[in-house]
Structure 1
Amino acid sequence: MNYFKSTLLIASSLLIGCSSLPQKEQTTHITPNQAYSFPIDESWKELSIREKVGQVICFNYSEKDIEKYGNGSIKTFLSKYPIGSSFLANWSVGTSPEKFQSIAKELQKNSKYPLLLSEDFESGLGEVIKEYTYLPGEMSLGAAQSPELAHQFGKVLATEARSLGINWVLNPVADINLNPSNFLTNSRSTGDQTEVAIKVLPHQINGLQSNGVVATAKHFPGDGTDVINQHFATSSMQLSMDEWYQEHGKVFQTVINEGVQAIMPGHITFPAYQKEQVDGEYLPATLSSELLQGLLKKEMGFNGVVVSDALNMAGITNYYPNQLETEVACFVAGCDILLWPSLATMDTIVARVERGIITMDRLDDAVQRVWRIKTQQGLFNKDYQACKNITKTTLLENKQTAQKIADKAITLIANKHDVLPIKSDETPSLLFVYVSQNTIKSKFKTLKNELQERGYKVDEKVGLSYFANAGKLQEVNNTYDKILFIYHSKPNAPWGSLLFNGDEALSMWSSNMLPRNKVVSIGVGDPYKNILYLPQIWSRINVYNDDPYSQRAIAKAINGEITMNEHSPVLPQKVKSIQ
């Protein structure tokens, strides 16, 4: 379908040349589900052009913009900009449940049509709102390999999100982390095994969508094969077509066939599939009609909503003359909802539809898709509640579920000579050595408290640099029964590389100099340090988030109360080297 009039093509005006497209390999690895469909309320046809364009806008809520464009009134703002969805970020809304609920109710009450209200919440609400459940994270599901726990993970997130007024989350991450040096995907994914991803992701998605929350599989066509963080630069899918059909493509086709309602493309190129280039460069998926219209919607049969990744990321910039044209081109390429565009983009799309530069077919296709998932989630029902009450009993059950996931996910990478569990007739004395760029001691208070309650003596130290402590290591060895090196790092915490740097590297040096029977290496978040850097350490444990439930699982494991999982979500044999 041609969405631009031939006389005014934004994309073609900037296409410098085309590379030849390799012949696509024929495959039967994935096939679109022809029965994949949603019911739809037909009232979308009554919308004005401006109201239709509003449906493709996901407004990044801020009181500053409400003041600027609505004179401080949400009602006035929505009358000028009838958006179809809004992202309620904790950095704008805060961390008070009451504030979230108040804004959600005010938005829904003053919108002519029901809104999708969104957040990421990849590890649950408790990461930023203390009253709720801080979940162990996506890679914990890859470690646990339990469809039932994956469903419960989604259900926990959905019940708590709906209580705040959130009815759409931008998760799960459906990427396969094939490159250990990719520090954006990492523990946000289920791991490096496709079969594990397709075992748990559909159940996680069902847990969300069957409890009133739209799920979003991301980042099509798949992240985790190169080393680039899309926030900083355009990433690239490095697989051949045949490899892609066996890996990321298989995952995305599975969740499509199972009814995922939204998919987020990344700012990721796919050279094996694409032929169109701008100034000699392939366009990222968020700007590529080849990938969105051709591969995702047509070949794979996706009839849900395609939502762009955030438009303020560097990975989508500088392919067009300015940010406004970039955001418009993103819509034209096939993104049905734009994540955090400027309001000027809404005005521009309205004007270009009215002038016939962007066709009504393109707009109607996007609006139908948005309307479809709103219909399926019951947003047009008269009894739909902006915020769905959650009981204290449910909150308690959610936290118990989180503990079950953490207990099932904690992974024993090595335990040579049975260093664990710790055996001592007397009160064992432990030293925690925190190895991280941003760890503060209070982050691990749950682990410390849990072990102290079990009778352990615990001291703490931030870092144990070999340069500063080489002459003191014997004293450390003599003072403590065990030294627990806690390697704490996860995607975007801190931003950038998760490789050892500075004092972290020097602390790792010290860990390898101490007697092997005295050291326990605990990876928190990033699973690769224990596999790549610390094979000399006899006892190594991985958990995949710093939530309190994972910390409690560590304490249980050290004390011999639970049997640790020995199936790592990233296989040592696949982790050959950091590139």
Structure 2
Amino acid sequence: MKYIIKENKMVLEKVNKMNLEELLNCIVCPNIVATQEDVTKAYFCFIHPNTYDNMKRKIENITSLNQHKMLFVTDMEAGAGSAIDGATRFPSMRAACEAGDENLAYLMGKAAAYEARKVGFHWTFGPCVDILGNHFSPMTSIRSASENKDDVLKYTAAYMRGLQDFGLIATLKHFPGDGYTMFDQHLTTSCNPLTKKQWDDSYGYIYQQFIHNGVKVIMAGHISLPAYDEKDSNGIYPPASLSYPLLTNLLKEKLGFEGIIISDATEMSGFCGYMNYYEACCAFFNAGGDCLLFAHPTEEFVDKMKEYIASGKLTMEVIQNRAYRMLCFLEEYVAQGNTLPENDKENFEIYANQMVDLSCKIYRDRNHILPIQLDKPLKIAHVVIACQYDFSLIEKFTKQLSSFASVDELRDPGCKKLKEIARSKEYDYIICSIGCFPWFGTNQITLSGVIARNMMNGWMKYETKVIFVDFGHPYIHEEYDAMIDTLIYTYGYANHTIDKVLSFIFKK
């Protein structure tokens, strides 16, 4: 059922009595980090990923200092473990799709909701409903379920149902759709290049279905959509977060969305690099947005908004309307109570393991070298050619490989060293952890810089057999098609991932 914010007379009376600073505290969602100012005046707060205990302590501390109700939010695009160290870790939304089990995506949402609410969260920025139209789009990769719109809808919708059925507010991102660009909106205003018909048949279809099925919040990305917009006076298309034609004409009027529109982070250059930061904040509200992510209502921020109101660039009516909508949204959530539903927490890790078992795969094995026979002592070189990896994962992989063979770990050894190793037959096998994880502000999803030079010299074609394992971006085979003969994909990682990879590599 379509979500519509419920009218609330008490909230309206409260808003009408607020001064500008109080109103602005209703329509920002600041992020709390150790070096930033107190956020206890705000009604919404983003907590960055950390340990279970640290996040719980932060939420409790802020709540105890606050005089009003608050909602806390973080990024949980595929389970709570991606943000909360100590919660159940699922591999990724792409893994949910590769597993081919819609119910597992739902259970991932259920687990995320329960574990997040135990910490004190009410809301998450997820799922990511971007379509991976360009396999090398730097910020999409395994965050997207698929390059197929129907798969994206199927698995992200199941995840959203799991979240919201168990009391955690979901957020679709990143409207009007990432995944077709080679640029990162953290660094620049990126562009969705689809025609009107292409957009209507893909992203438009996805957002329409979610709106009909009760999504409450949509995140406006710093992504332009020329098919539905016009150039500004500089001949540049604005990001959706600053575009009235995209937020109001397209999202609200054409698609019929009546829920909350939150911006992506305001510190991203796709937003504040397009125009002056304070002017952009003003433009977001005028475009139809409700809440600014990572904006802090400092004295300077309040003074700038006063200036814009005095000059007519912004009106108190707009600010009051956005504050009213956000507080009605908050009160609806508070009214549902905070009693955690019955759960099967003891099974959460089982669900994650099932997703790993169903999604991990031997993508190719041209020379039929898998599995390795354990009929003699083996010596293995574990080579690491990776960007933006969690190296605790690499250490764990090396340690578990050591249960099967004598292992030397070589990180970024260089192509000359690799050629020497491959030709010398010093090792029975080279197992190469390769690839890249999406990471903000890097504009990178492929091997790049000096790390990429490791792929020179043709070392993978000598006598020593090579097995490549990619824990991150699942299109390394397109970039190094001829060079990689044996390849295992995991589509992210969870606690069970390395066990599954080892079951492919070795015959027990």
TM-score > 0.5 by shorter chain: yes
1:326 and 2:280 matched: yes
Q: Residues 263-286 of structure 1: CA distance to partner in whole angstroms, max 9, x if unpaired?
A: 111111111110252422111101
1:16 aligns with none
1:84 aligns with: 43
Distance in structure 1 (CA, Å) of the matches to 2:389 and 2:230: 45
Residue among 260, 272, 286 paired with 2:241: 286
State the alpha-carbon separation in 2 of the partners of residues 40 and 411 from structure 1. Answer: 50
Deviations 1:1-29 (A, max 9, x none): xxxxxxxxxxxxxxxxxxxxxxxxxxxxx
Shift of 1:384: 3.0
The aligned residue for residue 37 of structure 1 is: 4
What per-residue deviation string (whole Å, max 9, x for no partner) do you get for residues 444-485 of structure 1?
2333344444x344332113432344334222xx33333211
SS in 2 for 1:540: strand
Change (3 A) 1:439 1:141: closer
Structure 2 counterpart SS, 1:264: strand
1:205 paired to 2:176:
no
Of 368, 374, 397, which residue of structure 1 is paired with 2:330?
374
**Equivalent in 273, 278, 297 of residue 228 of structure 2:** 273
Name the CA shift for 1:560/1:510 in 2 (closer, same or farther; >3 Å).
farther
Residue 495 (structure 1) aligned to one of 442, 445, 454: 442
2:272 paired with 1:317: yes
Per-residue CA deviation, residues 158-213 of structure 1 (Å, 9 max, x unaligned), is 22211211111111111111112311112221121111101111110111112221
Equivalent residue in structure 1 for 2:101, among 146, 153, 158: 146
Give 1:152 deviation, angstroms.
1.4
Q: Does 1:458 align with 2:407?
A: yes
Q: How many corresponding residue pairs?
A: 502
| Deviation digits for residues 395-439 of structure 1 (CA, Å, limit 9, x no counterpart) | x43222221111111133212243222234234443211101455
Per the TM alignment, residue 511 of structure 1 is displaced from its structure 2 partner at its CA by 6.1
SS in 1 for 2:364: strand
Check conservation: 2:29, 2:292, Cα contact below 8 A.
Answer: yes
Structure 2 length-normalised TM: 0.89
The one-letter amino acid paired with 1:61 is I
1:342 aligns with 2:296: yes
Change (3 A) 1:404 1:530: same
Aligned to 1:473: 422
1:356, CA displacement in angstroms? 7.5
1: CA distance, partners of 2:428 / 2:9: 69
Report the AA paired with residue 408 of structure 1.
L
Q: Which residues of 2 match residues 313-462 of structure 1 at below 5 A?
A: 313-320=268-275, 322-343=276-297, 344-346=300-302, 348-349=304-305, 358-359=314-315, 362-363=318-319, 365-377=321-333, 379-381=334-336, 383-384=337-338, 394=345, 396-438=346-388, 442-453=392-403, 455-462=404-411
The Cα shift of 1:302 comes to 0.9
> Could you tell which deviates more after superposition, 325-334 or 517-526?
517-526
Deviations, residues 89-122 of structure 1 (Å, cap 9, x unaligned): 24xxxx3433322332343345444212111133
TM-score (structure 1 length as normaliser): 0.79
CA drift of 1:58 comes to 0.5
Report the Cα offset of residue 513 of structure 1: 3.6
Indicate if the aligned counterparts of 2:80 and 2:111 stay in contact, CA closer than 8 A.
Answer: no
The residue number in structure 2 matching 1:509 is 456
**How far apart, CA to CA, are the structure 2 residues paired with 1:447 and 1:493?**
25
Q: 2:475, 2:341 → 1: CA distance?
A: 40
Structure 1 contact 145–196 (Cα < 8 Å) conserved: no
In the alignment, is the contact (CA less than 8 A) between 1:143 and 1:411 conserved in 2? Answer: no
1:534 maps to which of 461, 474, 481:
481
2:172 pairs with 1:217:
yes
Match of 1:248, SS state, is: helix
> For the structure 1 residues 412 and 250, does the alpha-carbon distance in structure 2 shift closer, same or farther, using more than 3 Å as the test?
farther
Distance 1:159 1:535, change over 3 A: farther
Moved more, 242-251 or 364-373: 364-373
Structure 2: state its 5+ residue gaps: none
Name the SS for the 1:46 alignment partner: helix
> Structure 2: how far apart are the matches of 1:373 and 1:209?
14
Q: 1:493 to 1:110 in 2, by over 3 A?
A: closer
RMSD value over aligned CA atoms? 3.0
- For the 8 Å contact 1:124–1:134, the answer to whether it is kept is yes
The structure-2 alpha-carbon separation of the partners of 1:104 and 1:466, relative to structure 1 and needing over 3 Å to count, comes to closer
CA distance in 1, matches of 2:131, 2:390: 31
Structure 1 residue runs without a partner (length 5+): 1-32, 68-76, 562-579
Q: Is contact 2:468-2:486 (8 Å) kept?
A: yes
CA distance in 2, matches of 1:546, 1:493: 19
Aligned equivalent of 2:113, options 144, 147, 158: 158
The letter for the 1-side match of 2:18 is I
CA distance in 2, matches of 1:144, 1:461: 32
Shift of 1:135: 2.2
**CA shift in 2, pair 1:353/1:203, >3 Å:** farther
Partner of 1:306: 261
Instruction: Give the CA deviation at 1:245.
Output: 1.4
1:132 has 2:91 as partner: no
Provide the rounded CA distance (Å) in 2 between the counterparts of 1:265 and 1:431. Answer: 46
Give 1:254's aligned residue. Answer: 209
